[in-house]
Amino acid sequence: MPARSLYIHVPFCERKCNYCAFVSSVPESGERALYLEALSAELSMRAKKHTAPLETCYIGGGTPTMLTPSQWRTLAALLEKNFAFAAGAEVTVEANPNSMTSEHLEVWKEWRVTRVSIGVQSFNDAELSLMGRVHCADEARRAVSRALSFGFDVNADLIFGLPGQTFRSWGLSLREAAHSGLAHISLYQLTPEEGTPWESLGPEELGDGYAPYRWAQWYLPKKGYTQYEIANFARPGHESRHNINYWQNGEYIGAGPAAAGYISGRRYKNIGSLARYAECIKSGALPEAESETLAPEKRAREAAVLALRMSSGICAENFIKEQGLDNYRAVSAAVEKFPHELYEKDACGVRLTKKGMRVANMIWSDII
């Protein structure tokens, strides 16, 4: 199957947050123009090898709203020039509340954006300040309201397990998200990442993660959201098709500094430095820093872990067809080592229960 999904990485931020390990930096003079020029060349190279119409396109970062509306028109033109889009394609843009303007929303609406994912993280000002976010809770509220008024499907990201976060403050943020008209809510537990200001946080300094997550699993379905993946809840019909392609082990093209792609069993990751990325492209080469062609067993185990992220789990028929019966039996045996209340298995396949999702990392590590 040819790749029908495209990810674009925009490597700019106004300021790095205390928890963020994604490749991004504050843009210096001329860097946004350099980025668009180099990205144009990479898209041209990638498009020659991948001619299938795109079903999904996801523009993330970093902070894509660090590009001006005029630069967004340039980016949209580059994508239209190099790729065809299938009818009804899902196009998602990430945005930060403080940098997303009405002009951005107008450009996206004029183009083909269908979905806006806003980095809210919390509706509590003290928590936002602690994280190093550059917006306040009121800016987040206005951003969500403004994006909804343009008719987009809107997602909000929220983080739990913050140092000092109380169950009450988490509950208030989640309640506000659920009552804001959002089509989709993504929940992420804080994980101290190497190279970030919070990398040295120990378990005793982190907030509780289990209880807030368990409560979200109980509360959000009562408000009309279905948990279709470990971290994602959506109203029916509003699931992220782009991310589902990842979890179903689908192929995708990655473009931009530090972007990753997966084509024909080969994973690649682009050069992270914008300057070196641009230099490589100028020489006529694809800007890949690393790549790996997965061995069949490793590919099968990675596909199993990805599938188990979703509430639908591993479809036995599809997995056996794509990865082989022996690999399916090996994965099933790994899951069956755990207590029965953590998973369900039947003729259709294997899936984690809600309780299993709460300890999913333990199960995945045994499979990998």
Q: Give DSSP secondary structure letters for 149-186.
A: HTT-EEEEEEEES-TT--HHHHHHHHHHHHTTT-SEEE
pTM of the model: 0.95
pLDDT at 19: 86
* HSE-CB for 56 with a 13 A CA cutoff: 21
Q: In this predicted structure, which of 10-19, 75-84, 258-267, 314-323 has the lowest mean pLDDT?
A: 10-19
- pLDDT tens digits, one per residue of 127-162: 999 999 999 999 999 999 999 999 999 999 999 999
Contact 109, 150 (CB under 8 A): yes
Phi-psi region of 230 (alpha: psi -120 to 50; beta: other; left: phi over 0): alpha
The secondary element (H helix, E strand) that includes residue 5 is strand 5-10
H or E element at residue 120: strand 115-121
- Comparing 173-182, 272-281, 359-368, the range with the smallest average pLDDT is 359-368
pLDDT at 198: 83
Among residues 45, 76, 53, which one has the least CA distance to residue 254?
45
pLDDT higher than 90, residue 318: yes
Q: Which domains does the chain have, with CATH numbers?
A: 5-247 (3.20.20.70), 296-367 (1.10.10.920)
Structure confidence at residue 1 (pLDDT): 60
pLDDT 10s digits, 263-287 = 988 999 999 999 999 999 999 999 9
Cβ count near 199 (within 10 Å): 12
With tokens 């050069």, the residue in question is 271
Helix, strand, coil: what percent of the chain each, to 5? 40, 25, 35
- 222-245 per-position pLDDT tens digit: 999 999 999 999 999 999 999 999
Torsion of CA 124, 216, 152, 146, to 10 degrees: -20
Helix (H, G, I), strand (E, B) or coil at 368: coil
